[in-house]
Structure 1
Amino acid sequence: MVPSDFKALIQRFYQLQSERIETYRLFEEGHEAYLRTGPHYDFEHYKQLVHEITQAFSGISKEVLEIKGRLRELDQADLCEHIEKLQSKEKQKLELTAKLQLAKQQAQDHPEDEGCLEGIQEIKHEIIKNKEALSEIMQDFKYDSEECD
């Protein structure tokens, strides 16, 4: 018998993952808007966006780690392991996203440099692989959490 608290934790975890996805969407839109301000970029506005996005991701991550701690108390080692893997992949995704944004600005500032476009494609490919790994972790989490019901 699993405590009703367990279901609430799992639901909140899924909500937080949805918030992460939405935060990435806002980050991407903000970066596209920033690129449209080139060649004299509105860096102050973009810097503020990065600050807000960083705070959002930090808050989400902190709460996910709290959920992990509560799951550990409920003796759910498998779910804790999935969350650890997820957090690692999310960190990598954020790093890749920042790398992609820098590469896009480089390509915009130096349209003659074909290496920039190749770099963008490579990073996009890494992001796709990262998203596939995240999806796999989420599937494992879903499977294992439903097994506990």
Structure 2
Amino acid sequence: MLETEFRSLVWRFYALQEERVEAYKLFEEGHEAYLKTGPHYDFDHYKQLVHHITLAFNGISKEVIQIKKRLHEEFDRPDLSEHIEKLQEKEKEKLELTAKLQLAKQNVLDNPGDENCIETEQQFKQQIIKTIEALSEILQDFKYDSEEPE
């Protein structure tokens, strides 16, 4: 019974990570649509999207934190709890970088040919790639450790 509960908690965690991926996809698509409304951007519509995405990320994050807590307290798995803690920090970093990248993309459109804007956009893209790689490593560690019997 406890093993089944543990497994379902781990699978719920993975499902929440998938929800994050989908939320990022919607965020990106919404930002692309917003950029197409330039030079007189439809900021109200975009602001509404950001609000919905923020609510989605907050909901996911709260549930992930509950899973982290249960893994630590109910299942005595501080190792898995620690992976989730690291993951949450990287997810926060990724979201902040994504917002900065979106601003950088708009700056590139608003300032055609400005090398500084282009360079800044590239830097944020590289940082996001590194953050995604770190997230993948954490998830691999989580997967490996969650499949190991304690």
Normalising to structure 2: TM-score of the pair? 0.97
The whole-number CA distance in structure 2 between the counterparts of 1:112 and 1:137 is 38
Q: Is the 8 A contact 1:16 1:64 kept in 2?
A: yes
Residue 31 (structure 2) aligns with? 31
Residue 86 (structure 1) aligns with? 87
The whole-number CA distance in structure 2 between the counterparts of 1:118 and 1:68 is 38
Cα-Cα RMSD:
1.2
Residue 21 (structure 1) aligns with? 21
The whole-number CA distance in structure 2 between the counterparts of 1:67 and 1:11 is 11
Matches within 5 A, 1:109-124: 109-124=110-125
Does 2:28 match 1:50?
no
The whole-number CA distance in structure 1 between the counterparts of 2:79 and 2:96 is 26
Shift of 1:57: 0.2
Structure 1, residues 53-79: CA drift from partner, whole Å, max 9, x if none?
000000000000000111012100000
For residue 38 of structure 2, give the secondary structure of its aligned residue in structure 1.
coil
Structure 1, residues 70-109: CA drift from partner, whole Å, max 9, x if none?
1012100000000000000000000000000000001101
Q: Is the 8 A contact 1:93 1:127 kept in 2?
A: yes
Give the aligned residue type for 2:46. Y
Q: Is the 8 A contact 1:2 1:148 kept in 2?
A: no
Shift of 1:112: 3.0
The whole-number CA distance in structure 2 between the counterparts of 1:14 and 1:148 is 18
Higher relative contact order (CA 8 A, sep 6+): 1
Unaligned runs of 5+ in 1: none
The whole-number CA distance in structure 2 between the counterparts of 1:87 and 1:148 is 24
For residue 3 of structure 1, give the secondary structure of its aligned residue in structure 2.
helix
The whole-number CA distance in structure 1 between the counterparts of 2:113 and 2:139 is 41
Unaligned runs of 5+ in 2: none
Structure 1, residues 2-46: CA drift from partner, whole Å, max 9, x if none?
531100100000000000000000000000000000000000000
Q: Is the 8 A contact 1:89 1:134 kept in 2?
A: yes
Shift of 1:113: 1.2
- How many percent identity over aligned positions? 69
Work out the number of aligned pairs and report it. 149
Residue 136 (structure 1) aligns with? 137
Residue 62 (structure 2) aligns with? 62
Structure 1, residues 111-145: CA drift from partner, whole Å, max 9, x if none?
13111011111110000100000000000000000
